[in-house]
Chain A
Amino acid sequence: MHELSLAGGILRIVEQTAEHEHFARLLRLRLEAGSLSGVDVRALSFALESMAPATVLEGAVIEIEEPLGRAWCMGCQQQIDVRARGDACPSCGSSQWIACGGTELRVVDMEVADA
């Protein structure tokens, strides 16, 4: 359940931003959890939900996008989309590929109210 630690990291990023930007209220927070990031989006939602009351996250809409993983296929020597580790390349069937995108959990942006 590392998603709880990750939710804590997200909360800290939002709190730091609140300090710098002096906004009154967080309306919307956009996150990105790549399908190769090792993050379970349901568990992350659950963790954020548990953590939100009495924090800057309370009352905000949180969107979590899950971009597909990108990888370099060693079988067909090109970039491919992949959903999960261990999957076969959709174009040549090889399972020899190396992830090059969709591996991160990121805070993308937020919408805030100043008053």
Chain B
Amino acid sequence: MCVVCGCSDTGARVDAAPARAGTDRQQDVHFGLGEARVSVPGMSQTRAIQIERNVLSANNSVAAANRARFAAHGVAAFNLVSSPGSGKTTLLCATLQALRQRRPGWPVAVIEGDQQTSHDADRIRATGAPAIQINTGKGCHLDAPMVAEAFDRLHDHFHHHHHHDHGHAHGDEHAHDQAGGLLFIENVGNLVCPALWDLGEAAKVAILSVTEGEDKPLKYPDMFAAARLMLLNKIDLLPHLSFDVARCVDMARRVNPGIEIIQVSATTGQGLDDWLHWIEHQAGGSHGHGHHAHPADTPEAVDDTDALKRRIRELESELARARSLAAP
């Protein structure tokens, strides 16, 4: 039966074994086992073509171009992913307001992804930050070409801040010694699909709210494996819930040993400083780090150690990969 409209004859058949059962088993899909496969002796010359191509390679090359553009503008981009209702937009609004206090003049812009409406972009613009809404229609995730197009429209925002000799509407002198800026990309609310699409971001940030259940990292492992940071949001509600934070952290580390975790509440502002500090750190350390000393036991030093540990793990896995490729 046709999987689209239910009609009875497409000539297609799926020989599908139960999903993932026995894993290694081949699952063959046969299209048109009818007439199309009738062989005509002496007519066909068949040959094999090696492809060896990642299906996401087209997206990944645009993502690489995005990454290069962000770097050229000194822009640090973060891809915010979560399920619907985790409080992404509220947290983002609180972040934008706190950033404005903490780093006035640091250009910050937002790309908003939703299936429909511009409600979220409107909320972001109400904070004073420029926002571009992408409506994906039926799409369940943002992809790199969408972000490239949205960034074209934001280009002027970062471009103006990037050049020293511009007298422009933003008119903030601080912008000149803080070249670059921040780009938040709020992905479509979905804990599955956005995990696979590289947008050119510096890091994926997964937001999990404590109203969702502490085992989400295990239920949606691909997303938490792809994220560098997990923001545990709505922690002001913890007294009213039976959410076990330690168990949640443990589950997140089971799918991603290197994941960093910050607990926040967009409503009370708790933990926002740690989150802002993380952002500044990822953005290259030049923002604000000059203003205070670096004794060995500061949170920054701990961050550095964590980052180094993570890097070592990444290199170990890289080495393992190289070795497995080199082996016959």
Asked if B28 contacts A61 (CB within 8 A), the reply is yes
Q: How far is the CA of A28 from the CA of B13 in the complex (A)?
A: 15
Q: How far is the CA of A57 from the CA of B225 in the complex (A)?
A: 33
Number of residues of chain B lying within 8 A (CB) of chain A: 65
Contacting pair B28 A49 (CB below 8 A): no
A53 in contact with B12 (CB, 8 Å) = yes
Known: A9-B55, A85-B255, A110-B51. A45 touches B14 (CB 8 A): yes
Most buried by A among B46, B49, B222: B49
Q: How far is the CB of B213 from chain A (nearest CB, A)?
A: 15
Residue from A5, A83, A98 within 8 A of B139 (CB atoms): A5
B48–A111 contact, CB under 8 A?
Answer: yes
Contact between chains at A68 and B24 (CB < 8 Å): yes
Count of A interface residues, CB-CB < 8 Å? 68
Which residues of chain A come closer than 8 Å to B317, judged between CB atoms? 71-72, 98-100
Cβ of B27 under 8 Å from chain A = yes
Contact B32 A58 (CB under 8 A): yes
Distance from A59 Cβ to chain B, minimum over Cβ atoms (Å): 3
From B12, B53, B141, contact of A13 by CB (8 A): B53
Q: Is the CB of A112 within 8 A of B49?
A: yes
Q: A78 vs B221: C-alpha distance in the bound complex, in angstroms?
A: 22
* A72 and B54 contact, CB distance less than 8 A: no
Work out how many contacts link A and B, with CB atoms closer than 8 A. 194
Contact B49 A17 (CB under 8 A): yes
B residues 1-59 in Cβ contact with A at 8 Å: 2-4, 10, 12, 14, 16, 19-20, 23-32, 36-37, 43-56, 58-59
- How far does the alpha carbon of A5 sit from the alpha carbon of B192 in the complex, in Å? 13
Q: State in angstroms the CA–CA spacing of A25 and B46 once bound together.
A: 9
Q: Which residues of B contact A46 (CB under 8 A)?
A: 3, 14
Which residues of B from 158 to 180 have beta carbons under 8 Å from A? none
Complexed CA–CA distance, A40 and B195 (Å): 13
Tell whether, in the assembled complex, residue A2 and residue B29 are in contact, meaning their CB atoms are under 8 Å apart.
no
Does A49 contact B29, Cβ atoms closer than 8 Å?
yes
Residues of A close to B59: CB separation below 8 A = 9
Asked whether, in the complex, the Cβ of B23 is within 8 Å of the Cβ of A38, the reply is no
In the complex, what distance in Å separates the CA atom of A95 from the CA atom of B323?
Answer: 22
Residues of A within 8 A of B105 (CB): none
Contacts of A37 in B (CB 8 A): 196
With contact pairs A86-B218, A86-B255 given, residues A57 and B31 touching in the complex (Cβ less than 8 Å): yes
Asked if A13 and B46 make an inter-chain contact with CB atoms under 8 angstroms apart, the answer reads no
Out of B26, B30, B55, name the residue touching A106 (CB < 8 Å).
B55
The answer to whether B221 and A84 have CB atoms under 8 Å apart is: yes
The answer to whether residues A108 and B55 also contact, given A1-B193, A45-B14, A86-B221 and a CB cut-off of 8 A, is no
Contact B313 A112 (CB under 8 A): no
Complex A-B, nearest 9 residue pairs according to Cβ-Cβ distance, in ascending order: A59-B36, A85-B221, A2-B193, A59-B32, A38-B222, A98-B317, A100-B321, A72-B320, A95-B254
A49-B12, A79-B323, A111-B46 given; name 18 further pairs at CB < 8 Å: A2-B140, A5-B140, A6-B196, A17-B51, A38-B192, A39-B196, A41-B19, A42-B16, A50-B3, A61-B28, A63-B26, A72-B320, A74-B316, A84-B221, A98-B316, A98-B317, A105-B56, A113-B45
Provide 29 A-B residue pairs closer than 8 Å at the C-beta atoms, listed in order of the A residue: A1-B193, A5-B140, A9-B59, A17-B49, A23-B47, A27-B46, A41-B20, A45-B27, A48-B31, A52-B31, A53-B12, A58-B32, A59-B31, A61-B29, A61-B30, A61-B31, A62-B28, A63-B29, A64-B29, A70-B324, A83-B20, A85-B222, A86-B254, A98-B258, A104-B56, A109-B52, A111-B47, A113-B45, A115-B45
